[in-house]
């Protein structure tokens, strides 16, 4: 049973949907107030009454039933007390039945959600600036699939542009096949950086010529380009593996080379194209935006032109319900322009395009700058975090088995969680020490809590203790608080999808782990008398399952021992 939805169904306010009401229901910090609370302020306008009056009227209109034991109104809030014994049987039964699927649903069945994320640039560093898009996109990908949607992960590769001409020019001057083979992406990037630092006018001209050769299908230029591309992809795939990220399509900007002319033609036909200083633009002044540049005066296409072609292609290919672009807020204007142009072209599905913008990540111990080659590679951040995790584990638990594997799970988890814990639009400063704090609001804390639950369950199994989802008494306060949190996972996942905000799941994990620990420290589990023990073991098992599912949605694993 979904308690928030159950409550929402009892309330009928014109103009406010039941889903909206469900998302307004919260769990008050002090259970003495109630198990669930609904603030009524939002209804004041529709009902033209004060929140206090509304709460009072609703409280007397809702009759208690087998789920809701008591309803009261206080200061504009409706407070609900639920039947705790029913709650226990319901939540524990459901988690035991559904296991790894607990929190999932079929509500998205038949709908496709395209998610454009990570979208790396070929031959450029895969740096810490790509962390958020990669892990946010990856989390949304899993969350939408979990809700029954068909998620399509798209890596819109940055594989188009004059930089490839530069790269070939640099390679021709200073490159060496064996050295690049050996150095991979780093060697390729060094060439590019060297070009930016040292190229003179003659080399710039060469670069333009090589770019033209790529465009005109010249074999040598294209072979070199494909080689650089495959080196980049082989490299980023090793990082995607570590972060548990996958894509269904690597159709990048170049893929749209032959798909832009029809877009330009359609723009012209619809009378949207205008000439401006020799360039072709769509004027967006009426919408308070600078013009969207479609073709440069030399006829070359732009980033926006390729995004227009890509959106149309995706609609045709996937018939998406939504198409998400997980891209930094620096590109807000770009996406506003592209979406507006598509709308002006008459595509009603333009309303289904969503720019999922996020803030910047920087490192506590060093700013990042990309231009002249001083970048923080994401790989180095991950490796350093894993190394630190290993040191911390060594200190905490010297006899731990499979230390390397556990350190990888913990370290990678800390990097992912660090990028996902805050509201996505916030800029964040990543700190290795904070990310690996066992007592902080961290993945390590949640993982450690899971290991604690696993250890209780292992001891119980060894002693052949029974486990029982139903209990013939009402749960105590610690148990009830944990049960409510566990019951809340499905609604949390749903809201995370609705708001494109995986941080809601991350926070749920931390809050639930805290409640588990409170239960663990305040209530005896293994030493309790048999019927209480059986119930507490079921609760422990349910908490482990739900936390594992929550972290799993973020791409974070759970070690059995830590």
Rounded to whole angstroms, how far apart are CA atoms 438 and 311? 44
Q: Which is nearer to ligand ARG, 116 or 206 (CB)?
A: 116
Q: How far is the CB of 136 from ligand ARG (least distance, A)?
A: 13
User: Which element (helix H / strand E) includes 384?
Assistant: helix 378-396
> Which residues on neighbouring strands pair with residue 363, listed in sequence order?
366, 430
Are the C-beta atoms of 384 and 432 separated by less than 8 Å? yes
Residue pair 469/89 in contact (Cβ under 8 Å)? The answer is yes
Shortest Å distance, C-beta 236 to ligand ARG: 12
Size, binding site for ligand ARG by CB under 6 A: 9
CB-wise, 133 or 517, nearer to ligand ARG? 133
Q: How far is the CB of 338 from ligand ARG (least distance, A)?
A: 8
Site string for ligand ARG, 150-189 (x = CB under 6 A): ------x-x-------------------------------
CA-closest candidate to residue 508, choices 82, 4, 27: 27
Task: Figure out which of the listed residues 83, 104, 119, 442 binds ligand ARG, where binding follows CB under 6 A.
Answer: 119
Q: Which range binds ligand ARG by CB under 6 A, 116-124, 163-171, 210-218, 360-368?
A: 116-124
From residue 293 to residue 312, the character string flagging contacts with ligand ARG as x (rule: CB under 6 A) and all else as - is --------------x--x--
Look at residue 270 and give its three-state secondary structure.
Answer: coil
- Looking at the Cβ atoms of 132 and 478, the one nearer to ligand ARG is 132
Question: For ligand ARG, which residue of 40, 168, 327, 457 counts as binding (CB under 6 A)?
Answer: 327
For residue 24, give the nearest of 65, 80, 66 by alpha carbon. Answer: 80
Contact 78, 58 (CB under 8 A): yes
* Contact residue for ligand ARG among 5, 18, 85, 121 (CB under 6 A): 121
d(CA 347, CA 308): 11
Beta bridge partners of 37: 26, 79
Nearer to ligand ARG, 121 or 222 (CB): 121
| Member of 255, 325, 432, 535 binding ligand ARG (CB under 6 A) | 325
Cβ neighbours, 10 Å, residue 202: 9
Nearer to ligand ARG, 21 or 353 (CB): 353
Residues in 382-401 that interact with ligand ARG by CB under 6 A: none
Tally Cβ neighbours within 10 Å of residue 316: 9
**Whole-number Å distance between alpha carbons of 436 and 448:** 11
> What is the β-pairing status of strands 353-358 and 322-328?
parallel
Instruction: Determine which residue in the list 2, 35, 90, 116 makes contact with ligand ARG, applying CB under 6 A.
Output: 116
Structure tokens at 369: 């700058």
Closest approach of ligand ARG to the CB of residue 135, in Å = 15
Q: Would you tell me which residues interact with ligand ARG (CB under 6 A)?
A: 116, 119, 121, 156, 158, 307, 310, 325, 327
């Amino acid at each position: 049973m979904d308690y928030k939805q159950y409550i929402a169904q009892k309330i009928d306010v014109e103009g406010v949907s039941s889903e909206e009401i469900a998302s307004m229901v919260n769990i008050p910090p002090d259970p003495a107030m109630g198990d669930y609370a609904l603030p009524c302020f939002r209804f004041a306008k529709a009902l033209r009454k004060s929140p206090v009056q509304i709460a009072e009227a609703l409280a007397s209109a809702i009759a208690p039933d087998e789920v809701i034991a008591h309803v009261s109104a206080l200061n504009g809030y409706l407070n609900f007390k639920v039947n705790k014994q029913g709650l226990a049987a319901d939540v524990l039964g459901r988690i035991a039945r559904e296991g790894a699927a607990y929190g999932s649903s079929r509500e998205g069945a038949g709908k496709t959600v395209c998610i454009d994320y990570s979208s790396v640039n070929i031959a450029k560093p895969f740096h810490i600036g790509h962390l958020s898009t990669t892990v946010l996109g990856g989390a949304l990908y899993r969350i939408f699939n979990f809700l029954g949607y068909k998620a399509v992960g798209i890596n819109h590769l940055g594989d188009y542009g004059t930089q490839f001409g530069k790269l070939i020019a640099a390679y021709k001057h200073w490159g060496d096949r064996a050295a690049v083979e050996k150095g991979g992406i780093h060697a390729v990037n060094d060439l590019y950086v060297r070009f930016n630092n040292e190229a003179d006018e003659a080399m710039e001209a060469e670069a333009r010529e090589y770019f033209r050769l790529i465009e005109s299908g010249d074999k040598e230029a294209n072979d070199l380009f494909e080689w650089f591309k495959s080196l980049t992809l082989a490299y980023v795939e090793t990082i995607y593996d570590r972060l548990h990220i996958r894509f269904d399509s690597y159709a990048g900007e170049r893929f749209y080379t032959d798909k832009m002319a029809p877009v330009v033609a359609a723009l012209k036909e619809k009378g949207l194209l205008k000439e401006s200083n020799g360039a072709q633009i769509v004027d967006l002044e009426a919408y308070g935006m600078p013009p969207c540049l479609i073709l440069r005066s030399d006829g070359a296409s732009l980033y926006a032109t390729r995004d227009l072609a890509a959106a149309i292609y995706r609609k045709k290919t996937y018939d998406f319900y939504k198409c998400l672009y997980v891209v930094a807020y620096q590109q807000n204007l770009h996406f506003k322009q592209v979406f507006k142009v598509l709308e002006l072209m008459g595509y009603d599905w333009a309303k289904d395009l969503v720019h999922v913008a996020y803030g910047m990540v920087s490192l506590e111990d060093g700013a990042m700058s990309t231009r002249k080659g001083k970048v923080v590679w994401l790989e180095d951040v991950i490796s350093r975090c894993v190394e630190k995790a290993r040191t911390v584990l060594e200190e905490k638990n010297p006899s731990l088995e499979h230390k390397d594997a556990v350190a990888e799970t913990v370290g990678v988890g800390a990097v992912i969680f660090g990028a996902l814990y805050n509201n996505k639009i916030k800029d964040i400063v990543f700190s290795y020490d904070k990310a690996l704090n066992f007592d902080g609001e961290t993945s390590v804390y949640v993982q450690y809590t899971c290991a604690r639950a696993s250890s209780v369950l292992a001891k119980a199994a060894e002693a052949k203790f029974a486990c029982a989802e139903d209990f013939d008494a009402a749960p105590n306060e610690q148990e009830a608080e944990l049960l409510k949190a566990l019951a809340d996972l499905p609604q949390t996942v749903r809201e995370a999808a609705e708001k494109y905000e995986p941080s809601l799941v991350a926070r749920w994990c931390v809050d639930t782990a805290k409640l588990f620990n409170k239960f663990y420290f305040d209530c005896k589990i293994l030493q309790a008398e048999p019927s209480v023990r059986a119930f507490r073991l079921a609760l422990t098992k349910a908490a482990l399952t739900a936390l594992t599912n929550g972290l799993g949605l973020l791409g974070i694993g759970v070690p059995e021992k830590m």
